[in-house]
Amino acid sequence: MYLYNQGMVSMASQTYSITVNTAARTLTLYSNGKVQKTYSVAVGKPSTPTPKGVFTIKNKAPNPGGPYGARWMGLTAPSIGIHGTNEPASIGNAASHGCIRMHNKDVIELYNIVPLGTVVNIN
């Protein structure tokens, strides 16, 4: 059961949210409003930018295959997700078709922490 509180999702006693800074190419995980970890990510290239706004994680899939690396977390933004990559050199760049790419070890870690419904603020 997930409890919604001030735009963040709670699982047990932890409340998680994610902020993606497209300019800095970082993804920051918050727990109970405090920074837990910041990851380097790849974002959309200029021709296919990452959409900005507030979304939620609507689905999750282990080992989605292809270019999506080890994990997929689909967002409420159409066709956009947070996922691993089979192109680790792209991390830190504007290189995707709008998705947020992470190193596979990082996306596995994040996937195992955040529940469905987690708020993702992309700016």
pTM of the model: 0.89
* pLDDT at site 6: 46
The CATH number of 3-122, from 2.40.440.10, 2.40.50.140, 1.10.10.10, 3.90.550.10, is 2.40.440.10
Please give the radius of gyration of the chain, using alpha carbons only, rounded to the nearest integer: 13
What is the C-alpha to C-alpha distance for residues 71 and 109, in angstroms, rounded to an integer? 10
* pLDDT at site 39: 98
* pLDDT at site 38: 98
Catalytic residue annotation:
83, 99
pLDDT digits (tens, 9 = 90+) for 9-67: 555 567 999 999 999 999 999 999 999 999 999 999 999 999 999 999 999 999 998 89
* pLDDT at site 13: 61
Please check whether residue 19 is in contact with residue 27, taking contact to mean a CB–CB distance below 8 angstroms. yes
pLDDT digits (tens, 9 = 90+) for 70-123: 999 999 999 999 999 999 999 999 999 999 999 999 999 999 999 999 999 999
Please check whether residue 107 is in contact with residue 82, taking contact to mean a CB–CB distance below 8 angstroms. yes
The residues spanned by each domain of the chain are 3-122
